[in-house]
């Protein structure tokens, strides 16, 4: 980040700091849950690029891994996945 | 899966951990996708100047913010003016490795912020102005803006808007600024390359990003990217860049200069609840509008 002059000291200026979960655990908003089939995942990174909440990380070893604490369950990852490796299932079962 | 290539692609690797999870955006919101691309290009060297818009809500309130970059929250009309001031202040302090980015919605650009924007463009201030266009005042509850397209429902145009969309990119081209581009969240790599180019140009740079809004446009949240891509594939939204007095069509839009290759406009319209009241006549008018836009592009790119 760009260095700012702090005449009062770091703790006295009411500056915001980068923080995970400014709106709380947004995973609680979800009623449909994306589930990854790692065998079908081709590691194309589409879901990670498009995920609006940045909860998906794709690694060559693990495939797409979703952070369910913050996933809002929009289903965008399942829609952009070209190999059909992500499916949406109801959060509380059938 | 063994033998998978482990190339470090700039997208998404450069964007990792910059826009943080748990922001206050609606499910399926296009704004964090675009912010992710911006942070992949500029990283923590970006100074975002954000007027009242969805993003000021999304990034959250004190003591936290959902992005690793400097953010200045400013009043609605003043995004370009404050960005000019920040840019001049950095210059007089001799700070060169920071990028001032005004990040405003369509209301803060095309309506309320127009005077400050035009002034900053005329003075050729050294800033990057990004307008993410969700085609109405979504944050306050879907009111019509001058960027709302013809026929679209909003709470203040209950039978559909009568007028056409204001083309802000063309207004900025008329200002004679060094760089103007249009992009879409459906094509993050296109936006990435345009931001990379803008990064190395000095002066006023303007990028118009098309951003479909699920609650405001009345479609299911999973279709955000599909709608954004359809807007380009039907020819309604044209991706181009204007640099050094020359207009060039961008890759994703290049095939659609041929009207036969464009998808029918109906496909785009049927996916969205805001166009439910659109009649056959209006669809023909929209088609005519698309053709006129392409005619202008052809004339300019010759």
**In chain A, where are the structural domains located?**
26-90
What is the residue extent of each domain of chain B?
Answer: 10-301
Q: Is A41 in Cβ contact with B225 (below 8 Å)?
A: no
What pLDDT tens digit does each residue of chain B (302 aa) get? 445 556 688 888 888 888 999 899 999 999 999 999 999 999 889 999 999 999 999 998 888 899 999 999 999 999 999 999 999 999 999 988 899 999 999 999 999 999 999 999 999 999 999 999 999 999 899 999 999 999 999 999 999 999 999 999 999 999 999 999 999 999 999 999 999 999 999 999 999 999 999 999 999 999 999 999 999 999 999 999 999 889 999 999 999 998 889 999 999 999 999 999 899 999 999 999 999 999 999 998 88
Q: Is A52 in Cβ contact with B32 (below 8 Å)?
A: yes
CATH 3.40.50.970 fits B10-301, yes or no: yes
A82 touches chain B (CB under 8 A): no
CB pairs under 8 A between A and B: 136
Work out whether strand B179-184 and strand B46-50 pair parallel, antiparallel, or are unpaired: unpaired
Among A19, A25, A69, the residue with its CB nearest the CB of B20 is A19
> What pLDDT score does B302 carry?
82
Dihedral sign (CA B238, B202, B244, B110): positive
Among A2, A26, A69, the residue with its CB nearest the CB of B95 is A2
Among A21, A54, A76, the residue with its CB nearest the CB of B224 is A76
Q: Which residues of B touch A5 (CB under 8 A)?
A: none
Q: Which residues of A touch B4 (CB under 8 A)?
A: 43, 60
> What pLDDT score does A15 carry?
82
Q: Which two tokens stand for residue B58?
A: 């999304």
Q: Following DSSP, what letter does each residue of B83-122 receive, concatenated?
A: HHHHHHHHHHHT--S-EEEEEE-HIIIIITTHHHHHHHHH
> What pLDDT score does A9 carry?
60
Q: Is B30 in Cβ contact with A52 (below 8 Å)?
A: yes
Q: Is B32 in Cβ contact with A54 (below 8 Å)?
A: yes
Q: Which residues of A touch B63 (CB under 8 A)?
A: 16-17, 19
Question: What digits encode the pLDDT tens for the residues A33-77?
Answer: 999 999 999 998 999 999 999 999 998 889 899 999 999 999 999
Among B6, B22, B33, the residue with its CB nearest the CB of A70 is B22
ipTM of the complex as predicted? 0.89
> What pLDDT score does B228 carry?
94
Q: Is B222 in Cβ contact with A78 (below 8 Å)?
A: yes
Q: Is A75 in Cβ contact with B33 (below 8 Å)?
A: no
> What pLDDT score does B1 carry?
46
What are the residues facing B131 on neighbouring strands? B104, B208
d(CA B18, CA B21): 9
CB contact set of B241 (below 8 Å; sequence gap of 6+): B179, B180, B181, B182, B194, B197, B247, B248, B250
d(CA B164, CA B14): 38
Residue to mutate among A27, A28, A54, A72, with most B CBs inside 10 A, is: A54
Q: Which residues of A touch B1 (CB under 8 A)?
A: 41, 43, 60, 63
> What radius of gyration, in Å, describes the C-alpha atoms of chain A?
18
Rounded to two decimals, what is the model's pTM? 0.91
CATH 3.30.460.10 fits A26-90, yes or no: no
A45 touches chain B (CB under 8 A): yes
Q: Is B24 in Cβ contact with A23 (below 8 Å)?
A: yes
Q: Which residues of B touch A58 (CB under 8 A)?
A: 12
């Amino acid at each position: 980040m760009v260095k700012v002059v702090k005449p009062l000291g770091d703790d006295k200026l009411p500056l915001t700091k980068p923080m995970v979960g400014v709106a709380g655990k947004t995973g609680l908003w979800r009623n449909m849950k994306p589930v990854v089939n790692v065998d079908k995942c081709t590691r194309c990174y589409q879901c990670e690029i498009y995920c609006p909440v940045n909860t998906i990380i794709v690694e060559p070893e693990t495939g797409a891994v979703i952070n369910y604490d913050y996933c809002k369950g929009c289903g965008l990852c399942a829609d952009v996945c070209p190999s059909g490796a992500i499916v949406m299932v109801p959060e509380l079962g059938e | 899966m063994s033998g998978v290539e482990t190339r470090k692609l700039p997208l998404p690797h450069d964007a990792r951990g910059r826009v943080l999870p748990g922001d206050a955006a609606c499910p399926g919101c296009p704004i964090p996708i675009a912010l992710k691309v911006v942070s992949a290009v500029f990283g923590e060297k970006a100074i975002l100047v954000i007027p009242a818009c969805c993003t000021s809500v999304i990034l959250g309130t004190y003591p936290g913010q959902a992005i690793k970059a400097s953010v200045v929250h400013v009043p609605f009309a003043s995004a370009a003016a404050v960005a000019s001031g920040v840019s001049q202040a950095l210059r007089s302090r001799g700070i060169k490795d920071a990028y001032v980015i005004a990040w405003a919605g369509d209301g803060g650009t095309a309506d309320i912020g127009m005077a400050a924007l035009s002034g900053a463009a005329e003075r050729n201030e050294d800033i990057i102005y990004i307008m993410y266009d969700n085609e109405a005042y979504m944050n306050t509850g879907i009111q019509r803006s001058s960027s709302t397209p013809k026929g679209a429902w909003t709470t203040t145009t209950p039978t559909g808007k009568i007028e056409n969309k204001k083309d802000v990119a063309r207004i900025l081209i008329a200002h004679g600024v060094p760089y103007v581009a249009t992009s879409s969240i459906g094509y993050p790599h296109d936006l990435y390359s345009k931001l990379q180019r803008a990064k190395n140009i000095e002066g006023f740079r303007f990028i118009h990003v098309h951003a479909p809004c699920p609650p405001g446009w009345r479609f299911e949240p999973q279709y955000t990217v599909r709608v954004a891509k359809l807007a380009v594939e039907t020819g309604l939204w044209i991706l181009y860049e204007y640099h050094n007095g020359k207009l060039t069509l961008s890759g994703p839009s290049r095939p659609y200069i041929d009207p036969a290759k464009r998808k029918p406009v109906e496909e785009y319209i049927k996916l969205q609840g805001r166009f439910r009241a659109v009649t056959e006549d209006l669809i023909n008018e929209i088609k005519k509008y698309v053709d006129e836009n392409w005619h202008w592009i052809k004339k300019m790119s010759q």
